[in-house]
Each structure stands twice: as structure tokens, then as C-alpha cells.
Amino acid sequence: MSTRLTPAMPPPAPFVFVRLYRRSLIAGTVMSVLAIVAGVMYLLRPVVPLPKATLFTTQAPFSAASLLADSRGWFRDAGVDVTVEDRPSGRLALAELTDGKGDFATAAETPIMFALLKGRPIKVIAMLGVSFDNTTLVGRKDRGIMTSDNLPGHRVGYTPGTTSQYFLDTFLEYRDLPPGSVERIPLKPEEMIPALVNGHVDVIATWSPFNYQALAALGDNGQELRIGSVYRWSWNLVARNEELAKGPLAAPIISALMRATAEIIRDPQGCARELSPRLGMPADKLVQAWKHTRFDVTLDQSLLLTLEQQARWAIASGLTEQKEVPNFLGCISSHALRSIDAEIVSLIDGQRRP
């Protein structure tokens, strides 16, 4: 019996491999070209610029949230290109704001109250925190300043229209000293320390970091006088007008400040090291100052009550032409903060929670 052998299939002709190789090469080249074209088109795409805003703040420990958000680019992350400019005081920050040089500012209630009494159309849109025992008196021991009982008859430097002025009156009242028992010398914030060091005044009423810097300049000759938590004030975010308060920039800016606030609470030492050069305070002193500040973004009834209380003081002291305390409720806008988290707004302003 014969065996039939099946002939083996011949191998593919070489041109088949060449054709397949060419197809793969062409496909790969096309894909590469398409990827390059897509990349070039992405790079050449029109870049939509972020909306811009200017925020005036102060070189002070309680301005930390604004400065940290600026330092870490969190305003841009929130969708706004914010230029943060430092000013010596909240009063000067508000002055430039109301002059139309900026869009937002941070300030304490005292300069806000004075601006509102002058009819400025500003709107408070958030409280950024509450500070206590950060405003103090700093005196010279060689002028006999050791306790509050030594104040009568001495020259006290203060900054008109700021917490410095309100604190001085509060301090004297708390210590049962007549308002006229001291000679008041109006000074700009940056004039405080030189005036104290050169003896032009015996005492200054000021806030951090100026009180810390004054004590450092005087050395063993410096004496600080406090009244603890008797005097508290909030640090607030202010919009130049109602349009900005309810506009598209307010909520993103507040969101960035909330992010910065949370970071300061989480890592105060790290944030202090980062902000120390800008604030002109050693990191450990900055952390110490923050222990007297409760960082918390909110809007509550205490703001309204404080504005009314300080307005009564300004009227009684003859510091304003107003004769009656205005309705400050209309000067506070919770719109932006409610759009972020209505639960953190406890201000009774007649607005419903969404």
C-alpha cells in the first residue's frame, strides 16, 4: 500500500510581509501626525483670561487667609485672577476701595462703620474671623508706664478711624479712667513705633504686628497693657458695591479664603513660616498672635450688633455728623456666602435658605 504525501504549503511570498509592514508604518505615521497636530492645536487654542479683581488687605496676623490664598495661587484655582495689595490699616484699604481703586478689601468693624456713616455703598459679604487681645497699649517704662493707673496725664498715640481709636476708649472705660485723662496724639500706623521710640508719645494703642514691633524696638523699656477678651472685633471681607457683592467674583474669592482658613487651622506652624517674611513677624510670634484669633468664615448677628454699638460710640463722641444709628442690615450681603454654604450664615436678614 502506498502512502500519499500532502505537499507542504509554500511560505508567503516576501512581498506580503513588506506590504503588511508598510501598512503598519503608514498607520503609525498617521497616528503620530494626528497626535502632533492635536497637541499643536491645543497649545494654539485661544486662552480665555480669568476675570480680574483687586483685593486690599493689611500686613497683620488676621489678614493671613488673604495672604496665604495669594501665596499659594488659590484665588486662581477658584477662577479669579486676584491682585492682593497690602495697606497699613483697614481704614486705608477701605479708603482706596471706595475711591474705586479696587474691588474688595478686608477690614475690622470700626473703619467699616465710619465708611458706612459717610454713606459709602460698600457691602460686607463675609466675616473671616474674630480677634481678641490682639490690640493693646504699649508704653515706655522710663515715662512711668507700668500699669493702666499710670496712664493719666500721658501722651497716647492712636490712629483715627480704626480699631486703635475705639480700643483706646474701650480700654479707658474698662479701667475706669475718664476719656480726657490722657492726651491723644493722632498718628498713622507706620508713625506709631518711631513716635514711641523717639519719645514723641509715651504710649501707643495699636494692633499686631505693630505692638510686637514696638516692644521689640523698646526692649526692656517696653511695657504692654491688655484687657484680654473684653475687646473683640471681627475681620471682614468687603465689596465695593452691591453689584460686586452679588456678582460672579465674590463666591470664588470667599471659597479661596475658606480654603486658606482651613489650612491655617490645620497647619499653623507651616503657614506661619511661609507668611513670616511678608508680615514682618517671626513665625513663633505669628502663631502666638493666631492663638488670639478664631479663623472662621461666616456671617452672624454679632457683626450687626457691633456695628450698631460702635456707631452709638461715634455719635456720642462727636466723631460723625450722623445723629442716629442707621440700619446697617442693608449694608451686609449674604448672597455670595449663602451660595457656598447657607448653613454658615446665621445673620437674621430675612433671606431664606436655599
Task: Name all domains of the chain by residue range, CATH numbers in brackets.
Answer: 52-131+232-344 (3.40.190.10), 135-230 (3.40.190.10)
Name which residue leads in pLDDT, 47 or 151. Answer: 151
Find out whether 233 and 109 touch, Cβ atoms under 8 Å. yes
Give φ, ψ of 235 to 5 degrees: -105, 125
Average pLDDT value over all residues in the chain: 90
Residue length of the chain? 354
95, 188, 66, 285 alpha-carbon torsion, rounded to 10°: -170
Phi-psi category of 350—alpha, beta or left, where left has phi over 0 and alpha has psi -120 to 50? left
Q: What is the pLDDT of residue 59?
A: 87
DSSP E strands, the chain = 52-58, 81-87, 104-108, 123-132, 135-140, 155-158, 183-186, 203-207, 222-225, 232-239, 293-298
Using the structure block, give the residue that is written with the C-alpha cell 511678608: 278
pLDDT-based confidence at 177, cuts 50/70/90?
A: very high
Q: For residue 209, is the peptide bond before it cis, meaning its omega torsion is within 30 degrees of 0?
A: yes
- Dist CA 107 CA 307 (whole Å): 13
Q: What is the pLDDT of residue 350?
A: 63
Phi-psi category of 199—alpha, beta or left, where left has phi over 0 and alpha has psi -120 to 50? left
Exposed e or buried b for every residue in 73-88, given b needs 16+ CB within 10 A?
Answer: ebbeebebebebebbb
Q: Across residues 212-225, what is the average pLDDT?
A: 97
- Condensed to tens digits (0 to 9), the pLDDT of residues 1-51 reads 444 545 555 555 555 555 555 666 665 665 665 667 555 555 555 567 999
Using the structure block, give the residue that is written with the C-alpha cell 486662552: 47
Q: Taking 90 as the threshold, does the pLDDT of residue 134 lie above it? A: no
The pTM for the full model equals: 0.84
Q: What is the pLDDT of residue 2?
A: 47
Find out whether 125 and 119 touch, Cβ atoms under 8 Å. no
- Dist CA 94 CA 33 (whole Å): 56
Q: What is the largest CA-CA distance in the chain?
A: 139
- Condensed to tens digits (0 to 9), the pLDDT of residues 230-257 reads 888 999 999 999 999 999 999 999 999 9
For residue 222, which of 188, 201, 197 has the smallest C-alpha distance? 197
- In 3-state terms, what secondary structure has residue 210? helix
- Dist CA 63 CA 70 (whole Å): 11
Interior angle at CA 85, CA 294 and CA 342, nearest 5: 45
Q: What is the pLDDT of residue 1?
A: 47
Find out whether 312 and 325 touch, Cβ atoms under 8 Å. yes
Query: Among residues of the chain, what percentage have pLDDT more than 90?
Result: 80
- Condensed to tens digits (0 to 9), the pLDDT of residues 279-294 reads 989 999 999 999 999 9
The residues, any chain, with a CB within 8 Å of residue 16's CB and separated by 6 or more, are none
In single-letter form, the type of residue at position 136 comes to: T
Q: Taking 80 as the threshold, does the pLDDT of residue 344 lie above it? A: yes
